[in-house]
Amino acid sequence: MALAVTSTAVSASIPARSNGSSYDLKASFIGPFPPLDRHYPTVVNFSSNRRSSVDVRAEPRRNNSIVPLAATVAAPGAVVKEKEEVVEEQEDYEQLARDLENASPLEIMDRALAKFGNDIAIAFSGAEDVALIEYAQLTGRPFRVFSLDTGRLNPETYRFFDTVEKHYGIHIEYMFPDAVEVQALVRNKGLFSFYEDGHQECCRVRKVRPLRRALNGLRAWITGQRKDQSPGTRSEIPVVQVDPVFEGMDGGIGSLVKWNPIANVKGQDIWNFLRSMNVPVNSLHSQGYISIGCEPCTRPVLPGQHEREGRWWWEDAMAKECGLHKGNLMQGDQAHGSAHVNGTTAVADIFESQNLVTLNRGGIENLLRLEDRREPWLLVLYAPWCRFCQAMEGSYVEVAEKLAGTGVKVGKFRADGEQKTFAEQELQLESFPTILFFPKHSSRPIKYPSEKRDVDSLMAFVNAFR
């Protein structure tokens, strides 16, 4: 993900859209604050029905701010007074999240920008969360955008950043990792250590720490998280929350508010919105990429796969967070961890079909002992909470229907919880789902090596050994 800052508050008119309409929003100057004892008149054009010319007084420059904006905008007709201390009433964000649960993304975005003004910024990653920028512009309010440049993004993503800046007439403020930390990591462990020991260390250096610096200059931030994006980590995110991990400009836990305006929107609906608004998108999407991160850790999604499987594909499904939203993992441990690890929480089962046989531990052990089976078996090792398993449910059930009456048995074995160690040791389980074929004349199952889980690919695998 990339973090940068922007405001539609001061220069450069946005070019006309293809539909003939034009926007009069302005991009802010990026630079230090002017002295406090001087006034700077600024004309701010929000939309055709919201225009004003007001005097503004610059605020002192804050340490570690993403972008110190040059002006604070007053409402139309308002009189700008000398700065005086204001005590804000504490907001109940849990209640606010409940109040906004059924609100549209545009309404949530407008609420966020209205409440926090220049002290909130949109986190833009170069993927489909360009929708956030579109919603922000539609509110008619000034907004800021930031992005994390890890130094390892795809060339297409960098070109997309430039396109977005020109399309909206904004300046994205990029946050970069500390060069000394990156140099130490690469010298000690090489350029691709994450393939061997996990992505967390590299993400911590290239993404999490730059994000922390960026957020230290804000009171709130806006993300493109959706509930349907990631298995086990994002299914419970609210539309607004007190950030459980990062701190804002006032310091301390609870000093930063996190807004997720599209939390309740499904991915397909986001894409329908982008197409209908003629919004520019990353060219990688047309190559099969859905969730886009750093180039070495992102690849296209194959048929039947969940969108998040294109990220850190060599790791377990439960680790699909880089650390920017690790508060989700903490919540996941509390809300779902027992179901994922110990199997103690009730979860709706999947792969339900009369053509599928549900095997227990004893049934699997019998299959493993048989060296001369009467029928071959196709078996999926799964966890019902796993979104990747859920994504292939339809294709696997269809395969079971095609194989009904052919002499090939199709089964399923729930391999999470207390069965996971056994599955890892005896059934070659590395991640969910794992698909095995037990031939008639072999003592060991054959593991399906591909990540293509569409019907044709699964049938080709079965037919190779029938």
3-state class (DSSP) for residue 191: coil
- Using CA of residue 330, residue 335, residue 336, residue 337, what is the dihedral sign? positive
> How many residues comprise the chain?
466
Could you write out the three-class secondary structure of 238-285?
Answer: CCEEECCCCCCCCCCCCCCEEECCCCCCCHHHHHHHHHHCCCCCCHHH
What is the predicted pLDDT for the residue at 316?
59
Alpha-carbon distances of 49 from 74, 105, 168, rounded to whole Å: 16, 22, 19
* CATH value of 91-286 in 1.10.287.620, 3.40.50.620, 3.40.50.300, 1.20.120.1200: 3.40.50.620
What is the predicted pLDDT for the residue at 383?
93
- For residue 121, how many other CB atoms are within 10 A of its CB? 29
Encoded tokens for 66: 């993403």
What is the domain partition of the chain in residue ranges? 91-286, 357-463
What is the predicted pLDDT for the residue at 347?
67
Q: What positions carry a catalytic annotation?
A: 386, 389
Give CA–CA dist 227/239, Å, rounded: 10
Give CA–CA dist 352/372, Å, rounded: 28
What is the predicted pLDDT for the residue at 452?
84
DSSP 143-170: --EEEE--S-B-HHHHHHHHHHHHHHT-
pLDDT, tens digit only, all 466 positions of the chain: 444 444 444 333 334 444 443 333 333 333 333 333 333 333 333 333 333 333 333 333 344 445 444 333 334 444 444 545 544 567 899 999 999 999 999 999 999 999 999 999 999 987 788 999 999 999 999 999 999 999 999 999 999 999 999 999 999 999 999 999 999 989 988 898 888 877 788 888 899 889 999 999 999 999 999 988 755 555 778 999 999 888 899 888 789 999 999 999 998 899 999 999 999 999 998 888 888 889 888 888 776 677 667 777 777 555 444 445 445 544 433 333 333 333 334 568 899 888 999 999 998 998 888 877 788 999 999 999 887 888 788 889 989 999 999 999 999 999 999 999 999 999 999 889 999 999 987 768 999 998 888 889 999 999 998 8
Tell the burial category of 39 from Cβ atoms under 10 Å away from its Cβ (0-12, 13-18, 19+).
exposed
Beta-strand (E) ranges in 92-149?
120-123, 145-148
Alpha-carbon distances of 109 from 72, 77, 255, rounded to whole Å: 19, 24, 20
Tell the burial category of 236 from Cβ atoms under 10 Å away from its Cβ (0-12, 13-18, 19+).
middle
What is the predicted pLDDT for the residue at 72?
32
CATH class name, domain 357-463: alpha beta
